[in-house]
Structure formats: C-alpha cells, structure tokens
C-alpha cells in the first residue's frame, strides 16, 4: 500500500480562548504524531497564531449591517438547497432570524465582529493554500476549539477514510450542531462499504449533496480543495460572510454548476471531534 500524505492546519490567533491548541498538547500536534507513529501516514502541520487579514475591508457600522444581511440571504438560500423537510418550522426560524436582524439594524454589533470574521477567513484560506502547496493527498483543517478525548479512535478512523476504496471530496469530522437541528438527516445514507476504522461505534454517511457542519474540522481531498479555493477566491470579500457560510455558498455554486459531479461528501456520526465553543 502506498503511503499517503496529510497536511494538518490549525486556525488560531494570539488572543484565543484555547491556547493549548497551539502547542504539543493541542489536537493538531497530537493527531499528527499519532498518525505518523502508528498509522504510517506522513503528516505536515502548520498552526496559525496571528491575524492575517490583508483584505483592506473597512470594519465600520455599514460593513456590519451588510454582513448581517448577507448572512441571512445565504442562510435562506441554503435552506432551499438542502430542501428542509419541516417547512413551517423552518419558515418560523427564518422569520425569527429576520426579526433579530431588524433589531440589529437599530443596535448594531461592534465592528470588531467583522474584523474577526475577516481574520478567520484569511487563516482558513492561508492553510488551504499551504495544504495544496504541500502536495499532500489530503488536507485537514481544524479550528482551535476542535477537541477529542479519543485520539487513537480519531487517528485510526481518519486513516481508514484516507485509505478507503473510494476517495471522498471532503469529510465532516466535527459536531457543532446536531444533524436534526441542521435539518440534513434526509440527505444522509449509510455508506456500508466504508466502515469507521476506529475503536468507537460510528457510522460513515454519504450525503446526496455537499453539506457541512461548520468548518471546525473538515478533511479535504486535494482535488476537491483546489476547486473550493478557486471558487472561494471568486467570491467578493464584502459583504463579509463568516467562513462557514462562505464555504456553503462556494459549495452551492459548485454543485449548481455541476462542477462536483462524481465527488462524494461524507459525514461521520457521532462525530469524533467536538467544537468546544459550541458545547461548553
């Protein structure tokens, strides 16, 4: 069997609430060591610890307002894209979100919010490009609040996914929101030919179209990541979208223009990685 290469990128910054992620006890470093020492996968790792935004976007009140509106438009488009089955519930949810949007039009969040979104996006994009430049077969991008107590299970599972008989375009490895809350359970089917290779009981699912559970922990194939980077670079920097929504917009664009035909999106449930900021 040919040895595979994995690039691991960790998105962090100087004022993070999770500084352990930047050192040897962080998930990125520990996972790299586990995969290299026990799974025969060659790993490279790069950790972002500073702000990288060079977009030139001015973070003021108007920028915040445009950002909030743009996010709601992206969310409404995404609801149609995934064909949420609970139409009334989804309509009420979106209505409540627009009501909150009206409140924010009078009491705008601080402009620092936009600056943070720009820096997070810059870090993700930097790591994506570094992953491509590394020549690795796969690229795993982790945010610094990614957490797992089952390192061996995670490493063995990732190794199994990378060595599967078919190549996934990308794999969702984290849980930020439940599948039920995301409204995507009707898009997932058990991928019986690709069992989870870790020690814990998990199921690998095939999604009928590319969908994400935030960007806390996603494993990308090299081929797919190249398409994602190209599509994301074609999107405008302003109005500012969070990286989660920007990736979803890129995926919807790629899917609707049939540029993802033949590529598979996989999910692992229950997820081997938790997003600490969402579960504390």
Residue 129 to residue 168: CA distance in whole angstroms: 19
Cα three-residue angle 38-42-46, rounded to 5 degrees: 110
Cα three-residue angle 276-180-252, rounded to 5 degrees: 85
Class (C level, CATH) for 5-56+111-278? alpha beta
What is the DSSP secondary-structure string of 94-125? HHHHHHHHHHHHHSPPPTHHHHHHHHHHHHHH
Name the pTM for this structure: 0.92
SS3 of residue 218 by DSSP: strand
By C-alpha distance, which of 64, 61, 48 is closest to 117? 64
By C-alpha distance, which of 215, 220, 203, 204 is closest to 177? 215
- In the chain, where the domains are located: 5-56+111-278
Q: What is the pLDDT along the chain (280 residues), one digit of tens a residue?
A: 467 899 999 999 989 999 999 999 999 999 999 999 988 899 999 999 999 999 999 888 888 888 888 988 898 899 899 987 665 566 666 566 655 655 556 566 677 888 999 999 999 999 999 999 999 999 999 999 999 999 999 999 999 999 999 999 999 999 998 998 898 999 999 999 999 999 999 999 999 999 999 999 999 999 999 999 999 999 999 999 999 999 999 999 999 999 888 899 999 999 999 999 886 6
Residue 245 to residue 19: CA distance in whole angstroms: 25
């Amino acid at each position: 069997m040919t040895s595979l290469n994995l690039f691991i990128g960790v998105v962090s910054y100087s004022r993070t609430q999770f500084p352990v992620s930047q050192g040897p006890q962080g998930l990125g470093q520990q996972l790299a060591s586990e995969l290299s020492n026990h799974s025969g996968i060659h790993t490279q790792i790069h950790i972002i610890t500073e702000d990288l935004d060079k977009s030139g976007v001015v973070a003021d009140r108007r920028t915040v307002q445009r950002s909030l509106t743009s996010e709601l438009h992206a969310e409404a488009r995404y609801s149609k894209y995934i064909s949420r089955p609970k139409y009334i519930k989804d309509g009420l949810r979106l209505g409540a979100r627009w009501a909150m949007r009206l409140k924010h039009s009078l009491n705008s969040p601080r402009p620092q919010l936009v600056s943070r979104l720009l820096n997070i996006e810059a870090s993700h994009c930097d790591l994506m490009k570094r992953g491509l430049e590394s020549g690795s077969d796969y690229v795993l991008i982790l945010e610094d609040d990614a957490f797992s107590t089952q390192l061996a299970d995670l490493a063995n599972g990732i190794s199994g996914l990378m060595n599967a008989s078919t190549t996934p375009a990308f794999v969702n490895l984290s849980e930020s929101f439940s599948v039920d809350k995301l409204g995507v359970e009707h898009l997932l089917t058990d991928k019986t030919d690709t069992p989870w290779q870790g020690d814990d009981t998990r199921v690998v699912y095939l999604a009928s179209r590319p969908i994400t559970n935030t960007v806390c922990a996603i494993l990308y194939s090299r081929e797919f990541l190249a398409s994602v980077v190209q599509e994301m670079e074609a999107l405008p920097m302003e109005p500012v979208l969070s990286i989660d929504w920007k990736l979803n917009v890129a995926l919807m664009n790629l899917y609707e223009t049939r540029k993802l035909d033949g590529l598979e999106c996989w999910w692992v449930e229950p997820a081997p990685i938790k997003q600490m900021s969402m579960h504390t």
